[in-house]
Amino acid sequence: MSESAGLLEDLLAGKHRALARVITKIENHDPGYRELVSGLYEHTGHAEVIGITGSPGAGKSTLVDKLAEHYREQGETVGVVAIDPSSPYTGGAVLGDRIRMASNVGDMDVFFRSMSARGNLGGLSTATADAVKAMDAFGKDKVIIETVGAGQNEIDIVGAADTVCVLVPPGAGDNVQMLKAGILEIADVFVVNKADMDGADRTVQELTEMVHLGQGSTTVDAGHHGFDEVEMDLDMPTDTDPWKPPIVETIAIDGEGVVDLVETFAEHRQFLEDSGELTRRRRQRVAEEIRTLLRDDAAGLVAAELEDHGGVGAFLDDVMAGDTDPYTIADDVMGPIRDCVEEQ
């Protein structure tokens, strides 16, 4: 039995050490990681995946901690993937050693993993989705993805989670209007955390008006999770009312509002299942994953072919001298790869 096969067997047997090792192999792209992920697929599709995002300081980590605590009290197991900023030097998670999930320390049924964003503008590395698969295959009932909180660019969460929860800090005021063209439009649920602070009421009012005007709302046929031609062959109902993102007030540090938020997540999950939206989103997720893998593999082939030509540096003098240009060089490097594809 290969090492990857043994790891997969241990993961499916419920060994947390194996789960940790599998995610490490995935994140580092160690030899055999693709075999591992391929083996995970047939065991996935059972976990409910919830994305928690929002601006820094909104209280995401505290809320995730309280959500995990609540789910455990209900007898459900939880996996948490926390996406941290990545070091420009090592690629590792800058905040990976921070103390989090304080309420669940020592509970083996809450598996916490901090991962690096790897500099991805969307806030998620390509390994995140595979880590979620590992937790899903392991048997976690809920998988929570907490994103780095980098602002408007942090929208990749829509491609990884079934339900996206956006935290908005109290007193956001005009910032709600400024942000609504970006991160606020991805929300399935809004949370105004620290609701006991000044400005919370105004923030709730701003969000309510935004949702009422149709900003940030999700419909079955044209949701913010963006579908393309791969979804159009589904026999979808057309009479389902659109989902309007609810606004939940919480004081996460005290656990206030967490029960209401969990109930809202359950309502959204029911909507996804009843409308067929869950299937559509997951189909879109797979479609994008296929595209990403093909892009990565193609980039690897191009990089190898470029090295065979002596690397980029081998062309610079000719370009600077005006003897050739980047477009011609790209055509020359791609030529053998294109010929090989056409022959196939």
Q: What is the pLDDT of residues 146-198, one digit of tens each?
A: 987 655 445 678 888 999 999 988 876 555 655 555 566 788 999 999 999 98
Closest by CA to 324, choosing from 336, 309, 339, is: 309
Query: Is a pLDDT exceeding 80 seen at residue 84?
Result: no
Q: Could you tell me what percent of the chain has a pLDDT over 90? A: 48
pTM beyond 0.85: the answer is: no
Bigger pLDDT: 205 vs 103: 205
Going from N- to C-terminal start, the domains of the chain cover 45-275, 292-343
Q: What is the mean pLDDT of the chain?
A: 82
Contact 72, 37 (CB under 8 A): no
Query: Is a pLDDT exceeding 50 seen at residue 87?
Result: no
Cβ density class 278-312: b for 16+ within 10 Å, e for less:
bebbebbbebbbeeeeeeeeeeeeeeeebeeeeee
| Window from 188-197, 211-220, 260-269, 325-334 with minimum mean pLDDT | 211-220
Residue range 300-323, pLDDT digits in tens: 999 998 998 889 999 999 999 999
Using pLDDT thresholds of 50, 70 and 90, give the confidence band for residue 97. Answer: very low
Residue range 36-78, pLDDT digits in tens: 999 999 999 999 999 998 877 889 999 999 999 999 999 999 9
Fold of 45-275: Rossmann fold (3.40.50)
End-to-end CA distance of the chain: 33
The runs of H, that is alpha helices, within the chain are 3-12, 16-28, 33-40, 60-73, 127-138, 174-179, 200-212, 258-275, 277-308, 313-320, 326-343
Bigger pLDDT: 45 vs 106: 45
Bigger pLDDT: 115 vs 64: 64
Closest by CA to 48, choosing from 311, 265, 340, 247, is: 265
Bridge partner list, 52: 146, 165
pLDDT computed for residue 185 by the predictor: 74
| Window from 52-66, 123-137, 184-198, 271-285 with minimum mean pLDDT | 123-137
Residue range 206-232, pLDDT digits in tens: 888 888 776 544 444 334 454 444 544
pLDDT computed for residue 154 by the predictor: 58
